[in-house]
Amino acid sequence: MNCYHPILIAASLLSSAAAVRGAVTPDPAVMQAEDQRAAAIAKASAATVAVFDGAGAGGGSAVLISPDGFAVTNFHVTSPCGAAMKCGLNDGKLYDAVIVGIDPVGDVALIQLLGRDDFPVAEIADSDQVRVGDWCFASGNPFLLADDFTPTITYGLVSGVHRYQYPAGTLLEYTDCLQTDAAINPGNSGGPLFDAQGRLIGINGRGSFEKRGRVNVGVGYAISINQVMRFVPMLKSGRIVDHATLGATVSTEEGSVVVDDILETSDAFRRGLQYGDSIVRFADREITTANALKNVLGVYPSGWRVPLTYRREGESFNSQVRLMGVHDESELIELVQSEEEQPSEPHPGGPKEEPKDNGPKLPVPGLEGLLKKKKLPAAVVGKYEARRGYANYWYNEQAQQRLWTNYVERSAVNDIGYDWKLVGNVETGGAFELITSADRAELTLPTGHSGAIFTGDLADQLSPPRSGGLLLAINAWQRFIDKGLRRFGEVYYLGKLPHGTDNRVEDCLVGYFEGMETRFFFADETGDLTGIELFTADDADPCEISFADFKEFEGRRLPQRWLIRHAEAPFAELVVETWNVNAGKPSAAPQDGAN
């Protein structure tokens, strides 16, 4: 009988196992995948921001989206910070940052890091293409532990898409979210959610926590980056941005989404939507439940235009609908302020080791009195201006001046005056003549002759009929050129939103005079004025003028082709052949003709 010592047996087995391990060659595909994952995380980490309240009251995370320092985060991260915060990157450096704009309903805020113009940025993905089962990773500053500003990475799956989260308190609402089991803990708020390639797909916000505590249980929610990027151009206005509503309430009935009630002042009502109609498609998505409609509505700012399909008695109708705001301006400000007093669902991003601060704090940066909280850093003082209704009016004023200066310099219209005579052709046949002055205008078309007088109640001067006030819109344009930003009336930068028949998204200045709103749209590339919308009343369709085919008239760059629309219907398309300035005035107050 042979005997073997146990120690010798164990040594032999270990030696054999080591030999086997040494002989194993790692699969190249596995190693390549690991290298790619590490590279994606390294790239993404560089754009991840650790956000700290300079007063030490809390913080969270953010992500850089442009080299000049614009970064996206949660509103409930920035609200305790006020106008200024400190932001760290994984290069180990700490930067001053300033609030730019806020979306308190969607829990999004835009900030700008200062001190560089070459910040690393995240690559933006199309979050509508994200599927359940896709790998993803969250990057951020959980529990504010990143003292060296190196972000923590948590890896997981996308476990749900198009998730709707019911409002927390009276204001906050998460719609069309991405759900993930990648750990999202307090401090991850406002930070990025990336896909496996390191592309930005969402902004982490809400999490489900064990017994309402502060430990993640594997269900986190990110605001889709498509929603965020749609709001970013509006947030760059420095405003408090509102979300959109259709102006109707709906319910799910036997597989259909039926209109229960609708505001007669809404654009949807003017486009024909009525009580009892079934909404079939909205913003190019099929709508099968009331929640599905809420989900889609939540990704759009107030004023956006989207396609709508509805059915009535078996017949389908298609339209473009201009969405209205959920709140009016004063209501939104009051709600944002009062939300500070309301209990809310727990949110990541509260102060370290202080569970009592789970909920969002919602004072409004930009309102009077905020500066008393703390002294602003010198770098921030030069980029911050408090004004009621704005997160930071400084950015709004800068945008106004940029658009105005580019337009005047490129078009050379500063001395064009009010006395115009335009002659040309109508696209459908025949000639037109337009003669204007400061106090009156007249238009002759093949269909008749119309005029308007710009004294008294301007809202009554809606000539020509069915145009929505074309002559009044032209006078508003002339007034804007003559008076400029400061004397036209109240003027502010709205942001970027769609207009025209092709719904192109461009910069918009809004001006008010005599109780009427005029929107002026400008092209990014050229600075040309590409459109005007005149609203003579809140519940009325605007007169819409789209400009194209710019050419020189008497040394000025002006539009040759004008497309005029009202209530979704074309009124006329004019092609200008001659455009004379100081060419005489209308002879008398003309009467409206047949057009």
By annotation, the residues acting in catalysis are: 76, 107, 189
Q: Is the peptide bond before 464 cis (omega within 30 degrees of 0)?
A: yes
Place of tokens 């819109």: 473
- How many Å apart are CA 560 and CA 557, to the nearest integer? 9
Q: Tell me which DSSP letter residue 469 carries.
A: S
Euclidean distance between CA atoms 459 and 40, whole angstroms:
58
* Secondary structure (H, E, C), 136-182: EEEEECHHHCCCCCCCEEEEEEEEEEEEEEEEECCCEEEEEEEEECC
Residue 515 and residue 81: Cα distance in Å, rounded? 37
Contact between 383 and 130 (Cβ < 8 Å): no
Q: How far apart are CA 94 and CA 86, in angstroms?
A: 7
Instruction: Output b/e per residue, 535-555; b: 16+ Cβ within 10 A.
Output: bbeeebbbbbbbbeebeebee
Closest among 380, 386, 352, 385 to 368, alpha carbons compared:
386
Residues 489 and 229 sit within 8 Å (Cβ to Cβ): no
How far apart (Å, rounded) are the C-alpha atoms in residues 252 and 465? Answer: 41
CA distances from 209 to 75, 183, 186, 215, 235 (A): 20, 11, 10, 6, 30
Separation of alpha carbons 440 and 69, rounded Å: 48
Residue whose token pair is 């079934």:
278
Distance CA(171)–CA(57), nearest Å, equals: 23
Provide CB contacts within 8 A for 112, sequence distance 6+.
68, 69, 70, 71, 97, 98, 100, 383
How many Å apart are CA 471 and CA 463, to the nearest integer?
6
Sheet containing strand 556-566, edge to edge, reads 448-453, 440-445, 431-436, 420-426, 569-581, 556-566, 543-553, 529-535, 516-522, 504-513, 490-499
**Helix, strand, or coil here: 546?**
strand
**Amino acid letter at 551?**
K
How many C-beta neighbours within 10 Å does residue 415 have? 10
Per the structure block, which two tokens stand in for 346? 């727990």
What single letter denotes the amino acid at residue 208?
S
513 within 8 A of 476, measured Cβ to Cβ? yes
Q: Residue 58, class by beta-carbon neighbours within 10 Å (0-12 exposed, 13-18 middle, 19+ buried)?
A: buried
CA distance 81 to 474: 45
Residue 226, H or E segment? helix 225-235
Residue pair 366/390 in contact by the 8 Å Cβ criterion: yes
Q: Give the torsion sign (CA, 447, 269, 508, 472).
A: positive
| Distance (Å, whole) CA 361 – CA 341 | 8
